[in-house]
Every structure is written in structure tokens, then in C-alpha cells.
Structure 1
Amino acid sequence: MVQSVILRLEGITRQFSRSSAPAVNNLTLQLNQGDLLGLLGPSGCGKTTLLRLIAGFESPQAGMVTMADRTVAGAGHWVLPEDRDMGMVFQDYALFPHLTVAKNVAFGLEKRQHQGSRHTTKQVKHLTQEAIAQVGLTGLENRYPHELSGGQQQRVALARALAPQPDLILLDEPLSNLDSHIRLRLRQEVREILKATGTSGVLVTHDQEEALSIADWVAVMRNGHLEQFGTPETIYQTPATRFVAEFVTQANMLPATRKGDVWETEIGCFGGKWQEAEENARIADLMIRQEDLLLEPSEAGALVIRDRQFLGREHRYSLVCLSGRELYARLPADKAIPIGTRVNVQVTTSALQVFPSGY
């Protein structure tokens, strides 16, 4: 079954001043109906600016934004944010403190009704109740925002965005203000709610785990450019650039020299697939993910465990090589290796990738 495209960005560029680099630079991607896209990157990479361009809060200087086969920006077209058939969930929820849950959710519907929407008062009430039920807040319709937990407030904001049944929902770091245990639970709920309603979504986040767990597709951004676009599995398992490898996987980068068909490093010789570079290079960096390093205690080991962090299901080990270089490994928490232990390492070689030296 061929999916229809709900969002298409073609050559989008936005520069705020001539003296600065573009916040978004010639970016192209598309999102299919019913899919969720995560815009992932560090602060200042352009992801929030891109979200605002999609929403209509900013206008591109070049390129086109198309939503559901309708050009909403570019090529002589400009559609106001309120006419783009989309919902918005803000980082700070943006709820009205003097309105109840039901009134907050109904606000957008009632505003559209005053602007000539075909929704009757009865339909507004039905859509409001339906949205509240979708986010699991039935029974709390008459409470005010200050009477709700942070997670419940975020659900109200999501219900308000869902109530008009938009083509697309935009979420600007919607979980960043929540406690970690609530954030973990709610990010799964957000995905389930959007999937259950068949709503397409674009999520901005700087949290790698959040993007990988919620989104069907991830767009990794850096300095206004699109570094890589793909499924969460592809982004994590086969990063296209060194930046993606380091930002998304927090992988180790180990200097290596080519010796015949293998790469020689201070912890051993390995094979590895080239990414982002010429295959005839003699010097490179070998990408080793933390979970692909296996440790074996040995008095003759070439590495020493400098520190160990308990992370619940696993330990994160800080290892020091003979050169003083530090590497990190993650192993199941059932067998803890003491700090100060000398170890040898084995590497899952099928996962190795090679990137250009330096950065």
C-alpha cells in the first residue's frame, strides 16, 4: 500500500541576518501520512527554526513547504498558521490557567467556530470529549491546570492539539519539563495516542533516546544542515557521518592505521566498513559503540578500569588505554568488574565503522 505524503520540505533555507550562517540551510525531506518524525540535534542546530517554518511562525527565504499536497510556503504562496490544519504542542504547555481542562481543549475549536468553522456547538462538545478520552483524562474535565500534575498538563496540551483533528501535529520538546520517570512513561503514551488517532507528527528534541523511541523517522541536524535522515534503527546502527555517530550513539572513536585489510589500533587489529571518506585513506578513526566492547579481566590486560557507573540494567565502564586515551563500555549489571582491574577487550567487529581522522 502506497502512503500519501503529508509533509514535504524542498530546499528550505532561513537566514536571520547576513552576517550569520543560515539557521536552516537547503533542507529537503518528506513525511508520509500517519508517520512520526523526530528532529534531533544539539542546541542551535536549527531544529526549532525548522519546526517554526513548518508551522508558519517563520517564512523561508528559499524553498517550499507542502502539507497534504497544498503549498503553504514558497513559490509565491503563504498560508497563515491558523489555516494550515495543524496542531501545536509547546514546551511550556501554554494552557490557560483560568480555564478548565474541557475549556482549554475546546479553545481552538470554539475559536474556529467564531471564525466560520462548520462545527456546531454540539460537535465542538463531542470533539472535546473525544480528545480528552484519547489522552486518558476522562473525569478531569472540570479541573484547572494548577490542579493537575505536569504529565496531566502535557496531556491536556496534546488533547487540545488533537481536538480539531489536524493533518499534522508539531511538538516542540514537549517532555523536557517533566521528571525523568514521567517523561519515560509519557513518551510511549504520546506515540500510542498519535498512532491510535492516525495523526502524523513532527517532534523536536535534543534527547537521542526520546527521538529513537518515539519516531518512525529521525532527521539529525547540525548547523542548519540535514546530516542524516532514516529510521531510528538505521541512524543508530549505520550512522552516515562522524557527527551522527558521536551525537546519537556516543560511540568511541579510536585512531587507526590501515595495515593491509585490517585497521591497527592500540587495543588490537580490526576490520571496518568505510563511512564518509575515501577508501584508500591510510589513517582514520574506528567507531566502536560502547555496547560493542566486551571486557575480560586479565593481569596482562592493556586497559585499566578507571571508574564504573551503575545505570540500573547495566554498568558503564571508563577504561584507560596505555596511551592515556579513555574509552567507554556498557555491560549488563549482573557481573560487576571492580575499579582498578586490568582487562583485555573484544570487539563486535560486524558493527565497526571507519570515519576520517580528526573532526
Structure 2
Amino acid sequence: MVANMKKLFSSIVIVIALVVSSPAHAERLKDLAEFAGVRDNVLVGYGLVVGLDGTGDQTTQAPFTGQSLTNMLSQLGVTIPAGTNMQLRNVAAVMVTADLPPFSMQGQRLDITVSSVGNARSLRGGTLLMTPLRGADGEIYAIAQGNLLIGGVSAESGGSQQSINHQAAGRIARGAIVEREVALTMGANQGELELHLKQADFSTAERVVTRINEEFGNFVAEAVNGRVIRLFGPQNDNERVRFMARVENIEVDPAVGRARVVLNARTGSVVMNGNVRLTQAAVAHGNLSVSIDTRQRVSQPAPFSQGETVVTTDTDIQITQEAGTLNLVEGVDLMEVVNALNALGASPADLMAILEALKASGSLRAELEII
């Protein structure tokens, strides 16, 4: 049984080493780059959600909700007398966001996200009233309206309340209609197009240019810099689309990226790619413990003396540190680096401190990124 477990563990280690050290496979250009101008546009709008079951905004604490309702009713021909105190709990002010995909046409439907901006407890059961969605230029590109779908749920009884998931935000599938199109003219300058790499890299850009020219058999691509590649495509719309589709499906071997270690200070995660190298270094790892003990004592004077009874505080501070061992770590690939650091028995938080120290000493051959 023990021999089988050892054999299984060795197989797992070998598989992990092969996965980490295996060379990069060819990838489609569709996954490595995108054509200039073919992008989403963000939309945002301010609106009202009505029909809530007493879980809307408190107008005393969110006066903008009452003001928005008054303005909306006035546009519908309803006049609210001045000084009216509207205590409405079935209305909530919300922000509506959406992404406008490229080549969107009038009448196309979009999914939207609705989020409360007041103190509404829940948007469950609410209906979003007609809300214009504007782009960065201030123009209206879509109109949103519909019934919200909330993923959370809550129950309340006898003063106690239990809730699951967030209920102050929801989605409306196909809840917006496109009213204005974003002009996008590709290849207007004699069929000239631009291909943008998602990660700027001169080596990858050179390989992409070489593969595109090999695929078409003539000079149709040139590198502008480490990210932008200029293409000379057909001027006919149909032929240009066919040309772009063919370019997207060309397979390229991307260049090996820079060695990088990513540290997540919030979760304690440490992720490093297969290019990380570690030159010879010595690391001492130990735990520091600080103990503070406070005790109250009463000082009693001698009988028939002029002294007074007082309370004194005695504080005892002890600092202990486990013996740190000076460990030699050296690795030429990712597996050796991981094994060397795991041998120190360091927690993720300690591991981040060790990696930062190794980077400062010049032993860690990688970029450190803290997120």
C-alpha cells in the first residue's frame, strides 16, 4: 500500500513538472489580439424602480428619490403640491449599467444591471421604469425598462431577519433597446486595418507578422510597435470580412513572457509563472511572539500612617522567538523554486515576505506584482 502511494505521488509530481515545463502551444490570433475599433462601449443611466414591498428607499434619508419621483410625475402631467411629505417605501433610486457591443443595430436588445444607490433593503419584485442609457459623450444610446431578477432571498419574522446573497442589485435580461448605433468604419483608408495585441511584446509581434505574411503569401502585415500591427486588406466589404476571419484563425506561437510573481495581499495567494528563476540565496525563517501580561495590585499603607490606599498596575512583557534556521534555496525552474520555499514551512503571508526579500537581494529573477 505504501509503495503504491509513493508511486502515485511520484507520478503526480512528474505530471506537474511536465505541465509546468511544457513549451507554449500555438494559439489563434483571435485569442492573442483584436482589431482596432471592435470594442464594447459602456452605458450608464439613473432611474427608478417601483412596485417594491416596503423595501424601498426612506425618502427622509434619501431625498433624491422623492425629488426624482416628483420630476417624473410632473413629466407625466401629475402635479405634486409643494411641501408634500411623500413617505414612499415602494420606490428606489437605482443606477443602470450595460455594455453596448460592437456593430449593435437599432432595435437590438441588451442585458442590463440595476443597482440601488439609496438605502433600499431589497429590489425584489420591482419594475424599472423607462431609463435612458448614455455613453461617455452624453448621448442616449439605449432605453432600459423591465422587471428585475434578484438572486438573493430574505426572510423576516418577530424582529429577526435572515438573508442569502445580495438583494440591492439585480439584472434584466434583454432589458434595454438600442436606439442609436455607434459608427464604426473599418478599412476606410484603402483597406488599412490595425491589429492590437492584448499583451505588448516585440517578439510576439514579429512572429505574428511573419505568420500572417506566410499565410497570405505576400506582404500584407507590418509591425508598428510591440502592440500594433498594420494590415493591408481588401477594400471590398465582403472580401475584407473574409480577410479578417482568415487572420483571426491563424495560429501563432507566442513568445515566452516575462518572469512574474503575483502576490494577493488580501487572500494570501501567491502565483508565479514557469519562467521564475532563483539564484543561490540563504533564508532564515522564524516566528516572533510578543506576550503582554497586565495585573492590578492594591497598595495598602501601614496602620495609623498618613498614607492612602492606591491601586497599581504591573505590566510584564515577554518576547520569544523560535530558533530560525538558515536555509539554502536555489532553483533553475518553477518546481525547484516551489519545493525550496515549501521546505521552509512558510505560510502564504510569510512566503510573500520571503519573496519580497529575495527580490530586494537580487536573488529572485522575476517581477513582483502585488494586487
**TM-score, normalised with respect to structure 2:** 0.24
More helix by share: 1
- Superposition TM-score, scaled by structure 1 size: 0.24
